[in-house]
Amino acid sequence: MAKQESNAKPKYAKKGNTGQADGGKRKAAPTTTPQESRQQQKKQRKERVLAQPSGELKLAARKIWEVLRQKELDDAVRKQKMVEMMALITGHIKEITFKHDMSRVLQTCIKYGTAAQRDLIAQELSGTFVDLSKSMYGRHILLRLLKFSNKFRSKIIESFYGHVRRLVRHKEASAVIEECYSTYANATQRWHMVAEFYGTEFAVFKHTDKDVRSLDAVLEKNPLKKESALTALKGALLPLLEKGTANHSIVHRALLDYIRHADPKQRSEVIETMRELVVEILHTRDGAHAGMLCLLYGTAKDRKAIVKSFKPYVDRIAREEYGHAVLIEALDCVDDTVFVNKTIMPELCALANDLVSDKWGRRVLLYVLAGRSPLYVGSDALAIMRDGDAVRAQTSKKDPQARRRELAGPVSEKMLAWVAAHVDVAIFDPLPSQAVSETLLRALGDKQKAWEAVLQLVRREVTENHVLVNPIANRVVTNCIIAEHSQPKSSADDSLMELPETNPKFGSDVLDALVGADQLVGAAVAGAFPVRALLESPVTGPKTKKLLAPAKKQIEAAMAAADKKRVYEGILSNL
Per-residue pLDDT reduced to its tens digit, 273-308: 999 899 999 999 999 999 999 999 999 999 999 999
pLDDT tens-digit profile of 236-286?
998 888 887 788 999 999 999 999 999 999 999 999 999 989 999 999 999
Helices (H), 282-333: 285-297, 300-310, 314-318, 323-333
CA distance 431 to 451: 19
Report the SS3 class of residue 440.
Answer: helix
CA distance 51 to 87: 22
Nearest to 548 by CA among 341, 117, 573, 64: 573
CA distance 97 to 166: 23
Please say whether the dihedral angle defined by the alpha carbons of residues 180, 181, 187 and 193, taken in this order, is positive or negative: positive
148 Cβ neighbours under 8 A, 6+ residues apart? 110, 111, 118
pLDDT tens-digit profile of 384-437?
999 999 998 888 888 888 898 899 999 999 999 999 999 999 999 999 999 999
At 574, which amino acid appears?
N
pLDDT band at residue 78, thresholds of 50, 70 and 90? very high
CA distance 437 to 499: 12
Report the SS3 class of residue 155.
Answer: helix
Pair 203, 162: CB distance under 8 Å: yes
Angle between helices 138-148 and 150-159 (to 10 degrees): 130
CA distance 168 to 230: 19
491 Cβ neighbours under 8 A, 6+ residues apart? 374
pLDDT band at residue 57, thresholds of 50, 70 and 90? confident
Nearest to 522 by CA among 480, 460, 474, 572: 460
99 Cβ neighbours under 8 A, 6+ residues apart? 58, 137
pLDDT tens-digit profile of 165-203?
999 999 999 999 999 999 999 998 999 999 999 887 765
Nearest to 311 by CA among 285, 278, 335: 278
pTM of this structure: 0.84
**Is the pLDDT score of 153 beyond 90?**
yes
At 181, which amino acid appears?
Y
